[in-house]
Structure 1
Amino acid sequence: MTKTFHEFVAHRSPALSRTAYLLTGDHHLAEDLLQSALAKTYQHWRRIRSGDPDAYVRRVMYHHQVSWWRRRRLAERLDPEPSDQPGDDHSDTTALRLTLAAALRQLTPRQRAVVVLRFYEDLTETQVAEVLGCSVGTVKRHGHDAVRRLRAIAPQLVDPAAERIPR
């Protein structure tokens, strides 16, 4: 039995919201992006409800994000340690999240999309290629470039133990 659009939104919104945040790097923009994607999804719900509506929403979010980015073309540079937060948080997890968020904002929108879809959404390269409407080779190239750039931007994200080759 196919679920209703309301059930889909209630069940999948938290995960889709996190994906939207990773694509935009901003909570307010992520909310706007998800709302736009869900509005478009609702228009086509009868056609896509029996398939994979998650993939459809992710594809719409990606395409909307690229369109917004192309219109804006403003490189947003945020301070990695916002000064408006009360007190210092010495949690390693929080520091890692801030570092990762700042590093992701420095990737191109397509590189960021590949990283989010591959490593956060845990999609295969083939699935990412379908969502982004490109070839698997393009996904591999953007993924490789993104990881190389992330290593240069934020070397503290790389686990030194994972880098060692066993002898």
Structure 2
Amino acid sequence: MRETVREREFREFAEARQAQLRRSAYLLCRDWHHAQDLTQTTLMKLYAVWHRVRRDGNVEAYARTILTRTFIDQHRKGRWREEPMEEVPEAPSAESARSELGLVMQSALMELPPRYRAVLVLRFWEDWSVEQTAEALGVTPGTVKSQSARGLSRLRGIVEGLSNEASGM
């Protein structure tokens, strides 16, 4: 059977971006298995609208929008619950996850509500603009700014608390 141009283009995109999508998903949920599920769901939803998205351009942004909204929807609907972990499992090529600061930040990030977490991951880990983040989350730029400020403030408090615990204070 011959592969269509649409299928080939989608396969090439999926192969090129799957690891990056999975990393973003992990930053949101801190579970490699759940991150893989989120990535696969994202790619399935993207394939369903590939002809339109490919024609409109900016496939990468659309894929991240699907990923983020799927994550938030699953939390909202209670389909997934976070389980506390003793150790963070390492991804096959996740060098940054091994650093102590990376682990502290990931641990602190997991204590934030899903919406704050999504805003901070998109804005600061993925380096998206306020407008791109707002579009991906379906909110106004003002909401992104306020949630960024509140999320960062809470994140600072959590990191300080973790630092105090580690130093025995």
Asked whether the two chains share a fold, i.e. TM above 0.5, the reply is yes
Q: Does 1:144 align with 2:144?
A: no
Structure 1 Cα separation of the partners of residues 81 and 11 of structure 2 = 36
Structure 1 Cα separation of the partners of residues 89 and 39 of structure 2 = 27
- TM-score, normalising length: structure 1: 0.80
The correspondence for 2:58, drawn from 52, 63, 74, is 52
Q: 5 Å matches for 1:153-164?
A: 153-155=158-160
My pick for the range that moved more, 96-105 or 35-44, is 96-105
1:84–1:97 distance in 2 versus 1, CA, 3 Å:
closer
Between Structure 1 and Structure 2, how many residues are aligned?
151
1:136–1:83 distance in 2 versus 1, CA, 3 Å:
closer
Q: Does 1:36 align with 2:41?
A: yes
Deviation at 1:23, TM superposition (A): 1.3
1:83–1:129 distance in 2 versus 1, CA, 3 Å:
closer
Deviations 1:58-102 (Å, cap 9, x if unpaired)? 1111111112112228763625x53999xxxxxxx6211211111
- TM-score, normalising length: structure 2: 0.79
> Could you say which residue in structure 2 is the equivalent of 1:88?
none
Structure 1: runs of 5+ lacking an equivalent: 86-92, 159-167
1:23–1:83 distance in 2 versus 1, CA, 3 Å:
closer
Structure 2: runs of 5+ lacking an equivalent: 1-5, 91-97, 164-169
Q: 5 Å matches for 1:110-125?
A: 110-125=115-130
My pick for the range that moved more, 47-56 or 142-151, is 47-56
- What letter corresponds to residue 116 of structure 2 in structure 1? Q
Kindly indicate whether the alpha-carbon contact (under 8 Å) linking 2:32 and 2:89 is maintained by their aligned counterparts in 1: no
Q: Does 1:6 align with 2:6?
A: no
> Could you say which residue in structure 1 is the equivalent of 2:93?
none
- Calculate the aligned-residue CA RMSD, in Å: 2.9
Deviation at 1:155, TM superposition (A): 2.7
